[in-house]
Amino acid sequence: MTAGKVKASQMRRAWYFLEGNGLLRTFYAVKERLEARKVTYDFVPVSEGELERQRAWAKEQTVTFSIVVPAYQTKESYLRDLLQSVLSQSYPHWELILADATEDDSVKRVLDDVAGEAVEETAFGRPLPPWKDGRIRYLRLPCNAGISLNTNRGLEHAGGDYVGLLDHDDVLTPDALYEMAAAILAAREKGIDAQLLYSDEDKCNSERTEYFEPHFKEDFNFDMILTNNYICHFMVMTSEMIKRLRLRPEYDGAQDFDLVLRAVGELMDEEEKIVHVPKVLYHWRCHPASTAENPESKEYAYVAGREAIQNFMDVKNINALVLPYMHDGYYNWLCQGGPLVCREDVAAIGGGIYVHNRLIGGRMNMDGAVYYKGLPRQYSGYMHRAILLQSADALDIRMISVREECWEIFEQAVGVPYVEIWGTHWFDASRLPAGADYLELSLKLSQALRDNGYRLLYTPRRRGKWLPLLRKVRQTGETLWT
């Protein structure tokens, strides 16, 4: 999709942002978004030849999937697209469970027309007549109890090894389940029992004639998931875990986010069991009622997202206050004394380094590549990642604060004692020898801290970054600490 005219929905989003963030922040947000629109994106569907290869491979596999869809007054064209996207899967070992809370029989009529008679029994291991797809199971709900409870009713009937959730107006790519099955089996070959898997995604218009705003995600990043639900779609989870955790109705609007956070809470010491499949497998349909198209349509969802993160913090005994950030669906958190005080798992925090208003240092990978390098200070970066708290493999030693318990590790790795800039707790980089190799020392220190079982936390905007959050605290009348 190439850059084109500005949509009315984009104007609404800009105005909505202006109301909450002021003129200057809005100016840079709009400027950055207009520049991003110059980048073209064309979704390239998988070829028929590749799908045939996948079908042949899948015949020998045994991993099974249940796809649960809570339906309610679903538009006929959307439902037909959804059903066809599942029926077209190259991986055949699935069942689709439609939990329908619609008052009339409109969903059932479309289902019967598209797939033939829908039966109640599971299809796994049973031959199917050519005119009827027994993998599709229809569950009529007595009333609309809300998305979480409706989905939970569908989960009760899921018989697959893994369960995926699909919104009733979205669609899967034909290779979605194949890619998930392949990733599960690849993990098993490494001795890893994958518990949660997620893919990249994009958006499409109502007619599915345009695809845009692809979300190419990072591999699992613990601290980033505490700022936004970047995992989102398409996600599958083991049947045992999702049936045990279930969706909680008190977080309706962000029920998937709450589910992910609770799963992450159980897998904190086994993060290798959270697997990213780096391929677009899910099309999120945008229409006037969707959150993707109109941010005001589900303000309650953003509140629920914040409450889900706060619940995670409280359960994990992290004395932090979660607050909404500049962009809807994104959050930040404050804790008394800073992250090194409220997070015993964090050895060091690092900030961004700017020269001529461009980022040159901060979060790095172990090859020394700087994340978001060259980004203007006022920009938030791709999917706003550059302004979010996030876990890091390595931090730049020139802007780092290390917890006192790790100062001995610091001295062993760096070769000089840890000396603070007066009153700040941040390392005084001027204490390094003249000509010191900042990159080598940064990587060496970061590796040593992680080898000792600690996390590293990147805080992009150290100076002044809390001001908008503090304003929101005052507006809501909340206290920072308990």
Q: Give the residue among 217, 260, 270 at the shortest CA–CA distance from 237.
A: 260
Contacts of 34 (CB under 8 A, 6+ apart): none
pLDDT of residue 10: 62
On whether the CB atoms of residues 197 and 180 are closer than 8 A, the answer is: yes
Q: The pTM is what? A: 0.88
CATH class of 48-303: alpha beta
pLDDT of residue 50: 97
User: In the chain, which residues fall in CATH 3.90.550.10?
Assistant: 48-303
CA distance 425 to 464: 16
Contacts of 140 (CB under 8 A, 6+ apart): 100, 108
On whether the CB atoms of residues 425 and 453 are closer than 8 A, the answer is: no
pLDDT of residue 289: 56
Mapping DSSP to helix (H, G, I), strand (E, B) and coil, where does residue 412 land?
helix
Structural element, H or E, at residue 102: none
Q: Give the residue among 404, 412, 399 at the shortest CA–CA distance from 451.
A: 412
Residue 431: other Cβ atoms inside 10 A: 14
- Buried residues in 435-456 as b, exposed as e (16+ CB within 10 A): ebeeeebbbbbbebbbeeebbb
- pLDDT < 50: residue spans in the chain: 1-4, 118-122, 126-131, 462-482
CA distance 263 to 195: 9
pLDDT of residue 11: 64
Q: Give the residue among 283, 230, 261 at the shortest CA–CA distance from 45.
A: 283
